[in-house]
Amino acid sequence: MKYILTEKQYSFLLEQSSYEKGIWDRSTAMLNKMSNLDPHTVADFLSIATFFIPVVGPAISAGISLGDAALYYKEGDKKTATMVALFPFLPFGKIGKLIPNAQKLGKEGMENLAKKIGKEGGKGLTQIEREVADGLIKNKEILNQEMKRISDDLLKNSKRTISELPLGNLGKDFKELASKQTGWIQATNPIGNYSGWKFHVYADNLDEVSFLYEKLLPVVNQHGAGMKLASSQVLDRLATNVVQKGKGVTIYLPSNVVAKNSQREFLKDVQTVLKDYKKSGQISGDRMITDNIGYRYELSKPINGARGVDIKQYQSLYKANEGGGHNIPGNPDLFR
């Protein structure tokens, strides 16, 4: 079907099209203006970040959990790594009070803003991200002060976290893995069933956990035990929980060891490989055998430890540690 237009109608459509195109062009220009940072502003952020690289680098090396900062640092993008490390802490200081939208973004939002500024050159910002970025640069002096305060705290934590424990290749590889993980690392599973008993070796930083992994793995494999270790992210979480603090390494005693009545031999082997490990600490809910090794029963009712339970039964009987006694009433203690 064809439509015949009068000259007047045709002229009107051309004008309308031109008018709508003008609105679209202006809208697009406005959108681009709002969503992209000025290159000079991006340069200001990168210049500020440069000053704090020498602090963030050691913090990452120490295994302190700083979001995706370690990934960028390893790639060689140290300025983005520094912003990703420090920006998430800004909403909780003077910046948060000065720029309320920074609090609205929160830790995750501020980390994303840092990535967009560093990795993407300030492109693709939402309106709220643009407002926060502009606010930070307008208050550059306070931004510097806050980033110095945060970096000073990181430096203190780095010094507390870095140990002088010697790490071989196995420990170094584990440390690299654990610095990127976001949960527990199950190194081995028990051969056979769970006895219901487990050991903890006290550790509260990544160097210690990596050292223990390297030392304990041969013993754990020899006896068919299970071993779970904390990643950097988990260590951060444990540090704020009185009941969980120090549980860097967990060893699950398998039923076959109890069946052979070899649990004390297993414990002796663990102590032998850890003779040079001097870190000490009390683990809530454990009976401490040494300054850094504790044990507890973790099921809700007594079972035959020599027979044990499979993973499904274990999960149904598991009793979370509440910081109380290391055993339950009526259950014989394998180590007393």
Tokens of 303: 């079972």
pLDDT recorded at residue 100? 92
pLDDT in tens, 150-187: 988 888 776 655 556 788 999 999 999 998 888 999 99
Above 70 in pLDDT, residue 9? Answer: no
β-pair partners for 194: 254, 309
pLDDT recorded at residue 236? 86
pTM metric for this prediction: 0.56
Above 50 in pLDDT, residue 1? Answer: no
The 3-class secondary structure across the chain, one letter per residue, is CCCCCCHHHHHHHHHHHHHHHHHHHHHHHHHHHHHCCCHHHHHHHHHHHHHHHHHHHHHHHCCCCCCCHHHHHHHCCHHHHHHHHHHHHHHHCHHHHHCHHHHHHHHHHHHHHHHHHHCCCCCCCCHHHHHHHHHHHHCHHHHHHHHHHHHHHHHHHHHHHCCCCCCCHHHHHHHHHHHHCCCCEEEECCCCCEEEEEEEECCCCHHHHHHHHHHHHHHHHHHCCEEEECCHHHHHHHHCCCCCCCCCEEEEEEHHHHHCCCHHHHHHHHHHHCCCCCCCCCCCCCEECCCCEEEEECECCCCCCCCCECHHHHHHHECCCCCCCCCCCCCCCCCC
pLDDT recorded at residue 324? 85
Above 80 in pLDDT, residue 13? Answer: no
Above 60 in pLDDT, residue 17? Answer: no
pLDDT recorded at residue 7? 52
pLDDT recorded at residue 260? 96
pLDDT recorded at residue 180? 86
pLDDT recorded at residue 270? 96
Cα angle 251, 252, 256 (rounded to 5 degrees) comes to 130
pLDDT recorded at residue 101? 94
- Residue scoring higher pLDDT (26 or 310): 310
pLDDT recorded at residue 12? 47
pLDDT in tens, 42-93: 999 999 999 999 888 888 876 777 888 988 988 899 999 999 999 999 998 8
